[in-house]
Structure 1
Amino acid sequence: MTGTSATNAVNATNPGAVTVAGIDCGTNSIRLKISRVDANGYTDVLPRVLRVIRLGQDVDKTHRFADDALQRAYAAAGEFADLLAEHHVDGLRFVATSATRDAANREEFEDRIEGILGVRPEVIPGTEEARLSFLGATSVLGPEQDGTVPAPPYLVVDLGGGSTELVLGGDGVDAPADDVTAAFSMNIGSVRMTERHLLADPPTEEQIAEAVADIDEHIEEAFRTVPAERTGTIIGVSGTVTTMTALYMGLPEYNHSAVDGRRVPIADITAVNDRFLRMTREDRRAYKTIHPGRIDVVGGGALVWSRVLAKVAERANAARGEGTVTSYVASEHGLLDGIVLDYGRRLLAAR
């Protein structure tokens, strides 16, 4: 996809800028963002548009995309194509993650998406997903409401439907704080844990215990690659993290600006996570803060989030002293932001 005269006219006042679109197609949702990227970062032209499509429905069990999941994805892609036609971008990057990596019939999906949007989905490995999530999360990191600056090294946790990435950055001394020093992608997420373990409504204690054992095993494997004991600040990105943060805050409806940058004590969010994990789906529907597409899987995501927080804090506090890590920072910026920023920079460098 190339720029049109409309785009070039917009960028004529800033020849060092490009207008790019990014699509992040995950296990549970698909998201579009259009941004203008220059040497200073990016400015949104069209803020994030999200549709919950549950592309990963039953993929953990069947290793194939379900027909109805594909139809939901194609409908969302058609909607995005209409939006892109209105904005005339210089380029589009479509990134697909965990569910697409695991699906045997992914070529069918890729062919159809290319027919709708004119670009072929780029199925990225977990390590690239981790790098882009870290880039997006740290690109806007700044002083908090009380003026304090989050302490490096940063551990970005991108908790998706099918996978969860742990990405550690430098300490700002021996390595730049915004450089990735270690990353690992775990095959655990809100959809995968729900479909694998949390089958009852509400889940039984036995199912929860089985899920905890599964999650903890993956976290310990990740820690062999990512030295979580070095963590200075945990940054949580993705729908699960921001949804649970909004529920902790008691928001009557979801509010992006209120959640973004909010620091939350680990002990407090763990209590909220436990409460919503053990709710029935019908009880969760009473909370307008939860997107309807997350009602049945948010408990599984909350459990993953609790275990990651507990394990990271345990490691960091044991290595660096109690009180080193007692909270996390919620971020509205992650993989999608990293996609547009990285792609825009590459287009600028090629000029």
Structure 2
Amino acid sequence: MTEQRIGIIDIGSNSIRLVIYERTSGGAHRVIDGSKRAARLSDQLDDDGAFPSRTIDELVDMINHFRLICAHHRTGLIRAVATAAIRNASNRTEVLHQIEAKTGLPIELLSGEEEAGYGFLGMINSMDIQNGFLIDIGGGSTEVSLFKDRTLVQAVSFPFGCVSMTRRFAKGGLLSDQQLRELEQHVTEYVEREDWLKTTPGLPLIGVGGTVRALGKVHQAHIKYPFESTNNYPILGQSTDVLFELLRKEPLDKRSKMPGLSKDRVDIIVPGIAILRTIYRLIGSSHYIVCAAGLRDGLFYATRFPERPRLDDVLTYSVNNLAALHPEAPMQHTSQVNRIVLSLMDTLQSQVRNPGQARQLIDVASILHRIGASIDYYDYRKHTFYLMINSHINGLSHVELLVCAAIASFKGKNRVKQIAAAYKPMLSEEDVNDVCKLGTLLQLAIALDRSETQAIGKLHIEIAGGKLHLRAIRADGMLSVERKEVDALAGDFKKVWGLIPVLHSPDHR
């Protein structure tokens, strides 16, 4: 199958973005290009709430620029949507007509509920979470949704966002105590009208969109967090309040130097977080979680998989997608290693901490352990580690992802200690021990298919007399390569598991 490309253009109130997704010949999806232009559309409205022709011309110019980028990539389908800024403009019909006439692109004007729905789809397909509230603070609107059992239950779109609130309460991005009270009162009045928002306290508040992502980046820089991803990043309410006051007290010139904060958010970040905190308090949330996906991702899934856009198993989808992006790893071999390692795990599960979690992590690690070979076979473990922690493996916490990457790239305890030192204080001593145990187990599974011929058809595993007996019930050939590898690994395995692995051929009982 040839590559297929989908372009998504999101005409938001704060910025206009393009993302181009590609389906590779192996059936995997990846982003191959993207572009962003700050627009501040909510600021461009005149006294009648209309966009002047100058702004429309700039929009046309920007969308034509994005169309050219799509054309260079031979993008088969472009889907362009507009949200709150154009939705709220008094001349929105004329704006849409002009854009379509001058760019040749039909523009979908999303309702607040549709916007919330696509944002939810982007989030739920990138996180393994059952219940919670979702918030998307845009430039001109804020969507809040409640979901239970991974299904959207109810959503509302409020007609305020970080740009419009900055314009109304925080000219120049500075928010006095009095202005803050007025902003909070304004948000509260809208939230009070929606009774359902207060019926399920204690749920996490997951944030998509620029405001929450910026909060995540500033928080990570503030605490010197050693891991770079913001997806699935939890923040406590108290930490957000501390950071909010820190940002609010800084004049703009100093605020612009805050690590983690992009220049185009310096003035709108404080009103944005003010909206976030107010809604968080009113609905009685337990903590915040930053989500790196959102509206554009939701639009992609809805376009690519119109019949079933919501993923049932986020982790399996993203692991299989990542494996398919690196087809250099021999598929039959990794499948065999995966099958063997899960059999070993089932026999030895009583000897590991959190067996359910350990099984999940070694499952993922065994599928991905060879992806580093797509960079270079020599030292592929190092490349595997890098690729895993810098790819979209959704459905794991940051610690789980780090442990999983360390298992997949395991080479010995010293290297695990180096990783733990580099990512202090994320990995505990117990985590290091888990990685050594599971990493060694993965090495044994790899040894059992060292010839990469899948010679072992069926394996019977039992523990007796201080040994881990591996009996090949069905096998092609004498397994001499595999036996040598298992024997070479026996000393290291005994140190960690207290058992000596012994491979018996089918003819040896």
Shorter chain as normaliser: what TM range? 0.7 to 0.9
Corresponding residue for residue 125 of structure 1? 111
Matched residues in 2 for 1:100 and 1:155: separation?
A: 26
Aligned residue pairs total 307
Q: Is the 8 A contact 2:211 2:273 kept in 1?
A: yes
Evaluate the alpha carbon distance shift between residue 69 and residue 224 of structure 1 in structure 2; reply closer, same or farther with a 3 A threshold. farther
Equivalent of 2:252, from 252, 271, 281?
A: 281
Matched residues in 2 for 1:153 and 1:186: separation?
A: 22
How far the C-alpha of 1:230 sits from its partner, in A, is 5.5
How far the C-alpha of 1:10 sits from its partner, in A, is 1.8
Equivalent of 2:137, from 156, 159, 170?
A: 159
> Which SS does the other structure have where 1:166 is aligned?
strand
How far the C-alpha of 1:227 sits from its partner, in A, is 5.2
Q: Is the 8 A contact 1:168 1:228 kept in 2?
A: no
How far the C-alpha of 1:28 sits from its partner, in A, is 0.6
Matched residues in 2 for 1:83 and 1:32: separation?
A: 9
How far the C-alpha of 1:271 sits from its partner, in A, is 1.6
For residues 126-141 of structure 1, the aligned pairs below 5 Å read: 126-141=112-127
Evaluate the alpha carbon distance shift between residue 129 and residue 228 of structure 1 in structure 2; reply closer, same or farther with a 3 A threshold. farther
For residues 245-284 of structure 1, the aligned pairs below 5 Å read: 245-250=216-221, 257-284=228-255
Equivalent of 1:189, from 161, 179, 183?
A: 161
Matched residues in 2 for 1:137 and 1:107: separation?
A: 30
Corresponding residue for residue 206 of structure 1? 178
**Residue type matched to 2:159 in 1?**
N
CA RMSD of aligned residues (A): 3.0
Q: Is the 8 A contact 2:56 2:99 kept in 1?
A: no
**Residue type matched to 2:105 in 1?**
V
Matched residues in 2 for 1:183 and 1:247: separation?
A: 28
For residues 278-317 of structure 1, the aligned pairs below 5 Å read: 278-287=249-258, 289-313=260-284
Evaluate the alpha carbon distance shift between residue 22 and residue 251 of structure 1 in structure 2; reply closer, same or farther with a 3 A threshold. farther
Matched, 1:63 2:41: no
Q: Is the 8 A contact 1:274 1:303 kept in 2?
A: no
Matched residues in 2 for 1:31 and 1:256: separation?
A: 26
Which 5+ residue runs of structure 2 have no aligned equivalent?
310-509
Equivalent of 1:10, from 3, 13, 24?
A: 3
Segment drifting more, 22-31 vs 52-61: 52-61
Corresponding residue for residue 330 of structure 1? 290
Equivalent of 1:49, from 35, 38, 56?
A: 35
How far the C-alpha of 1:63 sits from its partner, in A, is 1.1
Matched, 1:345 2:338: no
Q: Is the 8 A contact 2:173 2:270 kept in 1?
A: no
For residues 234-253 of structure 1, the aligned pairs below 5 Å read: 234-250=205-221
Between the aligned residues of both structures, percent identity stands at 24
How far the C-alpha of 1:78 sits from its partner, in A, is 2.8
Matched residues in 2 for 1:249 and 1:215: separation?
A: 27
**Residue type matched to 2:19 in 1?**
K
The two structures have a TM-score, normalised by structure 2, of: 0.55
How far the C-alpha of 1:310 sits from its partner, in A, is 1.6
How far the C-alpha of 1:64 sits from its partner, in A, is 1.4
Equivalent of 2:147, from 169, 178, 181?
A: 169
Corresponding residue for residue 217 of structure 1? 189
> Which SS does the other structure have where 1:168 is aligned?
strand
Corresponding residue for residue 104 of structure 1? 90
For residues 17-56 of structure 1, the aligned pairs below 5 Å read: 19-36=5-22, 43-56=29-42
Corresponding residue for residue 76 of structure 1? 62
How far the C-alpha of 1:59 sits from its partner, in A, is 3.5
1:230-261 CA distance string (max 9 Å, x none): 663321111010101111111699x9952122
The two structures have a TM-score, normalised by structure 1, of: 0.78
> Which SS does the other structure have where 2:180 is aligned?
helix
Evaluate the alpha carbon distance shift between residue 306 and residue 47 of structure 1 in structure 2; reply closer, same or farther with a 3 A threshold. farther
Q: Which has the larger radius of gyration?
A: 2
Matched residues in 2 for 1:99 and 1:113: separation?
A: 15
> Which SS does the other structure have where 1:59 is aligned?
coil
> Which SS does the other structure have where 1:232 is aligned?
coil
> Which SS does the other structure have where 2:127 is aligned?
coil
Q: Is the 8 A contact 1:155 1:233 kept in 2?
A: yes
Evaluate the alpha carbon distance shift between residue 130 and residue 201 of structure 1 in structure 2; reply closer, same or farther with a 3 A threshold. closer
> Which SS does the other structure have where 2:87 is aligned?
helix
Corresponding residue for residue 147 of structure 1? none
Following superposition, which runs of at least 4 residues in structure 1 exceed 6 angstroms of deviation? none
**Residue type matched to 2:2 in 1?**
A
How far the C-alpha of 1:228 sits from its partner, in A, is 5.2
